[in-house]
Amino acid sequence: MKDSTIGFIGGGNMARSLIGGLLADGVLPQRIWVSDPNETVLRNLQTHFAVHTTASNSEAARHAQVVVLAVKPQAAKAVAQELAPLVQSNRPLVISIAAGIRETKLREWLGEDVAIVRTMPNTPALVRSGATALFANTLASKEQKNLAESILRAVGMTLWVDDEGLMDAVTALSGSGPAYFFLIMEALENAGHHLGLPRDIARLLTLQTAFGAAKMALESTEELAALRHQVTSPGGTTERAVNVLQQHRIAAIFDEALHAAHQRSVELATLFGNDNRKI
């Protein structure tokens, strides 16, 4: 990875987080190019990271063995078609973090015989605690897949899926997932406040409890249900609260919510792929 030149097409938050992670992993700033139409974005990237910046997508991609499409889904078609002649000539690995854009559409716009890795990171990547799923087409070599994984691992954990259709499930679970946890934390903070705790104390207790629970789960080999039972004493306060949640069908609610997100992911992929209308 450190010997590869990486061209980011788009300098938004996700690209910025990846650049910061790559530099922290030892990639030299002169190995990174970023294009963006916003001069302020480019100036900030150059100031903070000392990477190459340009308003030209072609200029950023021309130098790169890896081209990262970090644009909004609505802009993916136009950007990919603009880069197609250069991609066909230079044959870089193309990594897409454009949500919902299928590999088949990227090949249609970029041209056939392009090594593509489609990814679905989530917003905790902004603090290098992301979860990213990756899908590679058959043209991506083992070395290119390792390279893509190394780049995305700079902002958190990575895993591969063999079926691109599973990316819609990934979107529903981890892509949208931070919002679910923010909603739960918001509810817990408000409930604690309603019980008399000052707002700042309720917030701090909520956030630390969420962090601690996630850390325990990550570091444990136990199933989540087993961890829950370990802190649920018979006849105690936790059991009483968990019973209320289960009576209100919390598992069924989340199942329904993720099915809704999955369905919308499929719908948006079709809309973006067909005409890139703004949704």
Residue spans of the domains in the chain: they are 6-167, 177-248
Task: Report the amino acid identity of residue 192.
Answer: G
Tally DSSP H helices, then E strands, for the chain.
12, 8
Provide CATH code, domain 6-167.
3.40.50.720
Please enumerate in sequence order all residues whose Cβ is within 8 A of that of 130, keeping only pairs 6 or more positions apart, or say none: 17, 121, 122, 123, 124, 155, 156, 157
- pLDDT band, residue 278 (cuts 50/70/90): very low
Q: Which pLDDT score is estimated for 1?
A: 62
Q: Which letter does DSSP use for residue 23 in this model?
A: H
The two beta strands, 116-120 and 130-136, are antiparallel
CB neighbour class for 262 (10 Å; exposed up to 12, middle 13-18, buried from 19): middle
DSSP characters over 166-215 = HHHHHIIIIISHHHHHHHHHHHHHHHHHHTT--HHHHHHHHHHHHHHHHH
Asked if residue 53 has pLDDT above 90, the reply is yes
- pLDDT band, residue 272 (cuts 50/70/90): confident
Q: What integer best gives the mean pLDDT of the chain?
A: 95
Provide CATH code, domain 177-248.
1.10.3730.10
Rg (Cα) of the chain, in Å, rounded?
Answer: 21
pLDDT one-digit tens code per residue, 161-177: 999 999 999 999 999 99
Asked if residue 277 has pLDDT above 80, the reply is no
Considering Cα of 270, then 172, then 149, then 136, what sign does the dihedral take?
negative
Alpha helices in 25-172 (DSSP H): 39-49, 57-62, 73-90, 103-110, 142-153, 166-170
- The whole-model pTM stands at 0.90
Q: Which pLDDT score is estimated for 91?
A: 96
pLDDT one-digit tens code per residue, 64-73: 999 999 999 9
Average pLDDT over residues 169-192: 97
**Contact present, 102 and 269 (Cβ < 8 Å):** yes
Average pLDDT over residues 26-41: 97
pLDDT one-digit tens code per residue, 257-269: 999 999 999 998 8
Chain-centroid distance of CA 32 in Å reads 20
Closest CA to 272 of 72, 57, 9, 120: 72
192 conformational bin, left if phi > 0, alpha if psi -120 to 50, beta if neither: alpha
Average pLDDT over residues 35-53: 97
pLDDT one-digit tens code per residue, 72-109: 999 999 999 999 999 999 999 999 998 889 999 999 99
- pLDDT band, residue 184 (cuts 50/70/90): very high
Q: Which pLDDT score is estimated for 276?
A: 47
Closest CA to 151 of 242, 88, 65, 247: 65
Domains 6-167 and 177-248 share a fold: no
Q: Which pLDDT score is estimated for 41?
A: 97
Closest CA to 9 of 114, 79, 91, 74: 79
pLDDT one-digit tens code per residue, 124-141: 999 999 999 999 999 999
